[in-house]
């Protein structure tokens, strides 16, 4: 069935394409990955537990942990051309510190993401990373948290600004606070002054070909995910959102008409407890909201203004008991 929120209805068939490269891993990292996915104390012996076409593309491959880059072939939707760092080397994060944003220490996540070359970034072990300033990611990167329990928490969030081709997969982002601003290195050969940040979990600004998959997000200071200023070709899939007010914002200004070219797919996500609104909130643009599970909200689920096209298809909406908060969709004629 199809629930359509739109002034314009249009259909488009999207196919996935991307490059892939295989590099063998050491056995200990592979074994850790398998143990983590099946749980610490339970050994699963049944058939593959993939419940959607994105997961079944990689999770059911017998040796996927030794061929991690097969993930880059699995993205669907408007971000279907995203290949991340699949054409580059692996970078192993071994240090969870973030003490020097001007000269990041090798082995840290910040040192990995500022490199100009393509990289597939993985983690040596479970880590809690408290970012002292916003993490500014260069193009052609994959941040792959499979095989470890990686939390970016109690610090600043992730910024994708004027970049392309970035995958972020299987990490937890929560308790994000505004950055204080100052001098921050954003590439190997450049640093600059950054103003005070908003406290977004992931901020996408003027960027394209972005895939966010299997990310657990909650309790940011501002939005969990914001995509603005002409960002497009984005897929957000298999994510879990809880405990937040403004969940997703696509397009921040009624005056910025270039966002009419924004295209975003929101698929197979769970919008869970203690959420209030913006799941997503859309200005301008074209948005496919498909096969998501909405189990809680306190104001409304999907909102739009400035004549966006929103196709809501195959979603489950369980409205709250509050009679004043049962809006599935909200058409805002005024800025908010």
Q: Which residues are catalytic?
A: 278
What is the DSSP track for 87-134?
TSEEEEE-B-----SSSPPTTBHHHHHT-SS-EEEEESS-EEE--SS-
Alpha-carbon distance 253 to 250, whole Å? Answer: 9
CB 177 within 8 A of CB 221: yes
What is the DSSP track for 271-298?
E-TTEEE-SSEEESSEEEEES-EE---S
Q: How many CA atoms lie within 13 A of 262 on its CB side?
A: 35
**Strands 172-176 and 2-6, sheet pairing:** unpaired
Nearest residue to 148 via CA among 237, 21, 25 = 25
Name the 3-class secondary structure at 158: strand
Alpha-carbon distance 28 to 190, whole Å? Answer: 36
**246 is written with which tokens?**
């403004």
CB 159 within 8 A of CB 169: no
Alpha-carbon distance 232 to 243, whole Å? Answer: 27
Nearest residue to 261 via CA among 287, 296, 297 = 287
């Amino acid at each position: 069935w199809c629930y359509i929120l739109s002034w314009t209805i249009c259909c488009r068939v999207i196919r996935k394409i991307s490059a892939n490269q295989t590099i063998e891993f050491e056995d200990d990292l592979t074994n850790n990955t398998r143990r983590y996915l099946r749980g610490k104390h339970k050994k699963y012996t049944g058939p593959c537990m993939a419940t959607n076409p994105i997961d079944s593309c990689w999770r059911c491959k017998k040796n996927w942990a030794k061929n991690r880059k097969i993930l880059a072939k699995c993205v669907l939707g408007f971000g279907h051309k995203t290949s991340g760092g699949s054409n580059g080397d692996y970078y192993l994060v071994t240090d969870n510190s973030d003490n020097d944003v001007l000269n990041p220490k090798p082995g840290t996540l910040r040192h990995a993401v500022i490199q100009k070359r393509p990289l597939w970034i993985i983690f040596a072990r479970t880590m809690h990373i408290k970012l002292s300033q916003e993490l500014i990611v260069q193009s052609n990167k994959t941040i792959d948290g499979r095989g470890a329990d990686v939390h970016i928490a109690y610090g600043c969030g992730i910024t994708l600004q004027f970049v392309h081709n970035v995958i972020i997969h299987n990490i937890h982002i929560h308790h994000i606070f505004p950055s204080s601003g100052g001098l921050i290195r954003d590439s190997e050969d450049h640093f600059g002054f950054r103003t005070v940040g908003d406290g977004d979990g992931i901020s996408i600004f003027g960027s394209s070909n972005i895939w966010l998959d299997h990310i657990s997000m909650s309790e940011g200071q501002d939005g969990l995910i914001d995509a603005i200023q002409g960002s497009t070709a984005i897929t957000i899939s298999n994510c879990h959102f809880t405990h937040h007010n403004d969940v997703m914002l696509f397009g921040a200004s009624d005056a910025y008409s270039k966002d009419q070219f924004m295209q975003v797919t929101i698929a197979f996500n769970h919008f869970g407890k203690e959420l209030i609104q913006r799941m997503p909130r859309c200005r301008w643009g074209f948005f496919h909201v498909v096969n998501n599970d909405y189990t809680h909200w306190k104001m409304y689920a999907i909102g739009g203004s400035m004549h966006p096209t929103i196709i809501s298809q195959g979603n489950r909406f369980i409205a709250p008991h509050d009679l004043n908060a049962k809006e599935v969709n909200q058409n805002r004629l005024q800025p908010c």
